[in-house]
Every structure is written in structure tokens, then in C-alpha cells.
């Protein structure tokens, strides 16, 4: 079995986990939620094995690099980080309803990697700019940040939906959501975590850029949008700490921030620049 085949299977495992979380939420049945947790764990295990297999396969082909160098591999790792961080959140807050909004994101990332004709799963040699010891540090830190922001986005949507229906006492679906204060705090914790790793990712990327191209910063589209994303989340944290913002305004900033993440990740690949290899 090849790594690509195994990772394709993982796509459907994440999809099943998302479905089970949604079923547990809608029908108020704890059993599907428990099965969803174990299914997510199985997906993480398969995802981990698939990435290791792909790493081994690259060495067997005489290429030998970490599976973090192109769009397919980054999407696979993105899914893994979302699932892992979500499981930590679930264990910490003892609430599986968040899984109905978090695991679909892991599924969508894997589905795009496995099923999109625009994403190639071929293992390819690294271009010269990627042949650096900074590759692993830069990609891992950035995607830890992206994954935290992704889950914060899901939690922010939950907050806004719950707030909009606050006067509907008979809405049983929303009654199972965590309290608004809890959702607000989870969003804040995730954004702080993501902001830390995005900051480290930008720093390691700058050092890497200097070694590869002789300049720490070149205003490449991806660099520019990474900085815009950083400023959005910095504004969120500043507004919460210094201005006392909570609730709806923080949720909206979290959603705007994740839209910037999505454009940084996918949109800038349509623009010419030093990061154009990310399309592969």
C-alpha cells in the first residue's frame, strides 16, 4: 500500500468522524460522539503513518526529504494538525460538539489534497530554495498556527450562532453548545497559540529566505499576506487585552483572520512570486 492510497482512506475516516460528531450533536446521542472521538484518533494514526510512509518512499526514490514541500504534503499535514489540536481541545473542555465544527475542516483539507485534480500527490525532488534545514521548522510552526486559527474559526462561528439565537429558549441544538463565555475563552486560547506559532513561522521563514535568496524580506505576495494575517490576529489580541473586547467583536476578527489565512495559503499561489512552487 502506498502512502497516497492510505492518506486517501484517511480522508474518508475524517469524513466519517465529522458525520458522527454532527449526528451526536443533532440527535443528542452520546454514543456517536464517543465513536467519533475514536474515529478521529484512528484518522490521526493513519495520517501519521501515511506521512512517515511518504518520507520513507522519498528516500527509496533517492530524493529524501520531509513530506512538507508541496501543496499536497502541506494539506496532509494541515489536516493532521487540525485533528490533533482539536482532540486536545475536546479532552480539555470535555465537549464533543466543537468536533462538529472542527473535524469537517480536517476532512475538507484532506479531501482537497486527495481528490482535487489541481493537487499532485507525486513525490518530487526539492527545488534549490527548499533544500534547507529551515524547511521543517518553518512549515511545522506555520501550520500549527494555521490549524489553531482554523479551529478558532469554527468556535467563533459557534459563538455567533449561539448569540444570534440567544432568545430562542426552545432551540435544543444550540442548548448543547458550550456557554458563550467558554466559546469566547476557547477562541482566545486558540488564537494566542496560533499567533505564537505563526510568529515563529514568519521568523524562521525570514531566516530561511536570507539563506536561500540573500534577503530576509522581499515583499513576496505570500510574505506580504502572512504579515497581514499576523497584524489581524495581533489586533485581536491587543483589542482583547488593552481594550477589553470580548464576544462578538472577537469572533468576527477571528473569522476575518482565518479568511486571511485561507488567502495566504491558497490565494497567493495564483500570483507570481518566490513561493509559486507551493502550487505543486
Q: How confident is the model at residue 279 (pLDDT cuts 50, 70, 90)?
A: very low
- In this predicted structure, what is the pLDDT of residue 280? 47
Neighbours of 58 (CB within 10 A): 21
Tell whether the torsion through CA atoms of 121, 127, 131 and 137 is positive or negative: negative
- In this predicted structure, what is the pLDDT of residue 268? 75
Residue 91 has pLDDT above 90, yes or no: yes
Q: What is the DSSP letter of 243?
A: S
What's the per-residue H, E or C state across 204-227?
A: HHHHHHHHHHCCCCCCCHHHHHHH
Summarize pLDDT for 146-190 with one digit per residue, the tens: 999 999 999 999 999 998 876 665 577 788 899 999 999 999 999
Q: Which positions ≥6 away from 183 have C-beta within 8 Å?
A: 155, 156, 158, 159, 162, 177
Q: How far apart are CA 154 and CA 141, in angstroms?
A: 21
List domains and CATH numbers for the chain. 1-126 (1.20.120), 129-280 (no CATH)
Summarize pLDDT for 15-29 with one digit per residue, the tens: 999 999 999 999 989
**13, three cell numbers:** 475516516
Amino acid at each position: 500500500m502506498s502512502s497516497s492510497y492510505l492518506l486517501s482512506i484517511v480522508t474518508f475516516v475524517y469524513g466519517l468522524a465529522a458525520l458522527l460528531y454532527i449526528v451526536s450533536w443533532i440527535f443528542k446521542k452520546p454514543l456517536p460522539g464517543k465513536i467519533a472521538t475514536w474515529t478521529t484518533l484512528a484518522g490521526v494514526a493513519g495520517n501519521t503513518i501515511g506521512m512517515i510512509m511518504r518520507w520513507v518512499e522519498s528516500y527509496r526514490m533517492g530524493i529524501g526529504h520531509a513530506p512538507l514541500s508541496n501543496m499536497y504534503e502541506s494539506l496532509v499535514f494541515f489536516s493532521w494538525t487540525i485533528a490533533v489540536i482539536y482532540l486536545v481541545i475536546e479532552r480539555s473542555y470535555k465537549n464533543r460538539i466543537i468536533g462538529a465544527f472542527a473535524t469537517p475542516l480536517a476532512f475538507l483539507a484532506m479531501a482537497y489534497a486527495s481528490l482535487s485534480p489541481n493537487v499532485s500527490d507525486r513525490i518530487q525532488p526539492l527545488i534549490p530554495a527548499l533544500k534547507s534545514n529551515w524547511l521543517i521548522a518553518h512549515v511545522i510552526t506555520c501550520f500549527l498556527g494555521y490549524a489553531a486559527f482554523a479551529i478558532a474559526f469554527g468556535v467563533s462561528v459557534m459563538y455567533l450562532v449561539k448569540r444570534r439565537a440567544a432568545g430562542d429558549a426552545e432551540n435544543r441544538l444550540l442548548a448543547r453548545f458550550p456557554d458563550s463565555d467558554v466559546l469566547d475563552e476557547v477562541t482566545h486560547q486558540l488564537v494566542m497559540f496560533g499567533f505564537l506559532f505563526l510568529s515563529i513561522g514568519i521568523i524562521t521563514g525570514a531566516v530561511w529566505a536570507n539563506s536561500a535568496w540573500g534577503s530576509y524580506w522581499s515583499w513576496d505576495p505570500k510574505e506580504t499576506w502572512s504579515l497581514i494575517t499576523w497584524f489581524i490576529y495581533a489586533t485581536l489580541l491587543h483589542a482583547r487585552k488593552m481594550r477589553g473586547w470580548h464576544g462578538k467583536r472577537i469572533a468576527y476578527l477571528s473569522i476575518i483572520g482565518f479568511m486571511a489565512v485561507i488567502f495566504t495559503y491558497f490565494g497567493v499561489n495564483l500570483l507570481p512570486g518566490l513561493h509559486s512552487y507551493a502550487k505543486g
